[in-house]
Amino acid sequence: MPKYADIAIALPIDKLFQYQIPEELLSRLAIGSRVFVSFGSKKVVGYVVGFSETAGREGIKPIETVIDAEPILSSEMLSLTKWISDNYFCSWGEAIEAAIPGGIKKGKKSLGSRIKESHINVEDYSRTEPHVLMEEQAKALRMIADCIDKKEHRTFLLHGITASGKTEVYLQAIDYVLKKGGQAIMLVPEIALTPQTIERFVSRFGNRVAVIHSHLTPAKRFLEWKKIKDGRADIVVGARSAIFSPVKNLGLIIVDEEHETTYKQEDVPRYHARDVAEERARLNSCPLVLGSATPSLESYYKAKEGRYKLIKLTKRIEERLLPKVKIVDMRMELATRKKITIFSKVLLDAIDNALKNKKQAIIFLNRRGFSTFVNCRKCGLVLKCKRCDAVMVYHFEEKKLICHYCNSTQNPPDICPKCRSGYIRYFGLGTERVESELSHAFSHIHIARMDSDTTVKKGSHDRILGEFKSGDASMLVGTQMIAKGLDFPEVTLVGVVSADVTLNLPDFRASERTFNLLTQVAGRAGRGEDGGEVIVQTYAPHHYAILAAAKHDYDRFYEEEIASRKELLLPPFVSLIKVVVRARNEEFTQKTAAALANAIRAEDKDVMIGGPAAAPISRVRGHYRYNIMLKGDDKKRMCDLLKRVLAKFHKPHSVFIAVDVDPISM
């Protein structure tokens, strides 16, 4: 009879807490149970992760209550969350709370709550039958099925160009697992969870599908979770957190668009869903399929090293050609037309042409707002946010300046706040301005715009895409929200207003992001019978990311990029751990960061440390930020080192320290 329970609590303290088990609770308590315990002066939720016969110290408090009739966490979930806490610098309790739905974290909702209907109505979808696979698809399916049969873990990287039929391979692989009595999890990036995607799964598998995304209310989310937990769903389609779905007999995990940065969680625990998926597949001895037209450098490198099995889909379905990509050198445009223009003549003519042929166009710019900076021509002042080191962006519709980092707003000034002159000018552009200019140039047509400003209201996402699908709108202007997954056969033209927006980001992944985005948006053109054309405007027409994207040549991009990563000793050749030190006082922040960097150096002379250096956006919401970057090939060793240092480090109360393992942004 165990007398004590080891309990994980969701606090940023990297240890377990012992509580005594009252006799009357013993029969209801198991590993994985949720309990209430008193912690300090508070009552908190804890998770039982182990039992012990002896007490580690005196005066151990008893467990107060057991919350659920049956354990909420399976042994698999416990292993998985333990792995997260070991690898992503968080406590076991914090990892556990990332793995269960919000509603039940506070201990409120009991698992026995009433079952209501799912948010998906199967009657809304007509059934579809599987396609007869093309040769490459069939080969891919055979390899995955073979792995399912053997019940072994293996990671496949499915590298298939846009519209090569990857999703059809996923669907049939899932079908295969289901027929063998297993279940599947399919992760997609949040923005790809469109009605189109959901439709493809529900119309194939009916009510056996559970869908989990962040727009669901906590209650609906809980219902989907419950549907999975009770075994009423065999397929989970969802964004990042769906990797924690409580499926019992997991036979396959798929991560579509595996290169997407949204798989990385930005708050504690800062896990990467792709890596969690790999660990979960390993725990279940089942295959993991990573799919992408533009695999992350990390994954492709592993495939080349033989750690992942590479499968290629090189042909588009029905042999449809990839669209022709034309690069427009905006420097020449400036030289010949003697003015700075948003649209080159080439792009304007192409739009005109598409419209004349009654076709549709997608115009892409990865920046929202109207003008991206406001400055005084007399004294040169650039209007910045009062709380962030970031320029204020003018939003025409709201007639406001908005900070994209903290959302604070200001009224646009008529006179310069510094020199009192009236020479205030607006420069730079965002999607709002692009839409406005286009509606002047093509006044007879309706233009839809999709970015995070136009999709705040519930349902607006579907409404905007609906307008475009029905043909009411002939043009769709948008940010990266429109880069993926959309399948509109009438689109013959895609225009990229400026490829330089992502290329100039202060991040070593800027080229990779640019290549990915250009490839994805280009994939929106020519999905129908009429073929397609892509026009990319840039001031850097000879950059390898742009040239390779224009040729649809992933391998060419990879070779250039991997060589530069190797030379600069960046991922995938090393692992990075970013430590962010922030506080309201700049000097204080800087000094603490310097002291911390010294403490790390003193602890281990061999570890490579960059910084401390001011973060690219050096102040956000009134907090100054300094980064320390640890570099090395032994991630575990770096984590352990940091844990030792931080345990000893005397940090002033007003300073915050965050640790991000494998950071996705600088």
Residues forming contacts to ligand ADP in the complex (CB under 6 A) are 131-134, 137, 160, 162-168, 317
Q: Residue 162 binds what, of Zn ion, ligand ADP, none (CB under 5 to 8 Å, by partner type)? A: ligand ADP
Q: Residue 418 binds what, of Zn ion, ligand ADP, none (CB under 5 to 8 Å, by partner type)? A: Zn ion
Contacts of Zn ion in 583-622 (CB under 5 A): none
Instruction: List the one residue out of 33, 25, 92 whose CA is nearest residue 62.
Output: 25
* Angle, alpha carbons 83-86-90 (nearest 5°): 110
CB of 128 to ligand ADP, least distance (A): 8
CB of 624 to Zn ion, least distance (A): 13
With CB under 5 A as the rule, give the number of residues binding Zn ion.
13
Q: Residue 376 binds what, of Zn ion, ligand ADP, none (CB under 5 to 8 Å, by partner type)? A: Zn ion
Q: What is the DSSP letter of 102?
A: H
The contacts of residue 334 (CB under 8 Å, 6+ apart) are 340, 341
Q: Does 313 bind Zn ion (CB under 5 A)?
A: no
In a 3-state reduction of DSSP, which class is residue 435?
helix
Tell me the two tokens of residue 482: 């429109």
469-498 footprint of Zn ion as x/- string (CB under 5 A) = ------------------------------
In a 3-state reduction of DSSP, which class is residue 466?
helix
CB of 257 to ligand ADP, least distance (A): 9
Q: Does 568 bind Zn ion (CB under 5 A)?
A: no
Decide whether 166 or 213 has the Cβ nearer to ligand ADP: 166
* Angle, alpha carbons 643-647-651 (nearest 5°): 115
From the list 10, 290, 416, 494, which residue makes contact with Zn ion (rule: CB under 5 A)? 416
The contacts of residue 139 (CB under 8 Å, 6+ apart) are 311
The whole-angstrom separation of Cα 45 and Cα 39 is 9
Preceding peptide of 323 cis, ω within 30°: no
Instruction: List the one residue out of 392, 383, 374 whose CA is nearest residue 418.
Output: 383
Instruction: List the one residue out of 77, 47, 78 whose CA is nearest residue 228.
Output: 77
CB of 46 to ligand ADP, least distance (A): 43
From the list 406, 445, 505, 510, which residue makes contact with Zn ion (rule: CB under 5 A)? 406
CB of 300 to Zn ion, least distance (A): 36
Q: Does 51 bind Zn ion (CB under 5 A)?
A: no
Q: How many CB atoms lie within 10 A of CB 377?
A: 12
CB of 133 to Zn ion, least distance (A): 51
Q: What is the DSSP letter of 390?
A: S
**Which residues does residue 575 pair with via DSSP β-bridges, in sequence order?**
632
The whole-angstrom separation of Cα 254 and Cα 15 is 33
CB of 484 to ligand ADP, least distance (A): 10
Q: Residue 134 binds what, of Zn ion, ligand ADP, none (CB under 5 to 8 Å, by partner type)? A: ligand ADP
Decide whether 404 or 527 has the Cβ nearer to ligand ADP: 527
Decide whether 144 or 630 has the Cβ nearer to ligand ADP: 144
**Distance from the first to the final alpha carbon of the chain:** 51
Q: Residue 387 binds what, of ligand ADP, Zn ion, none (CB under 5 to 8 Å, by partner type)? A: Zn ion
**Which residues does residue 631 pair with via DSSP β-bridges, in sequence order?**
576, 608
Contacts of Zn ion in 375-404 (CB under 5 A): 376, 378-379, 381, 385, 387-388, 403
- Binding residues (CB under 5 A) for Zn ion: these are 376, 378-379, 381, 385, 387-388, 403, 405-406, 416, 418-419
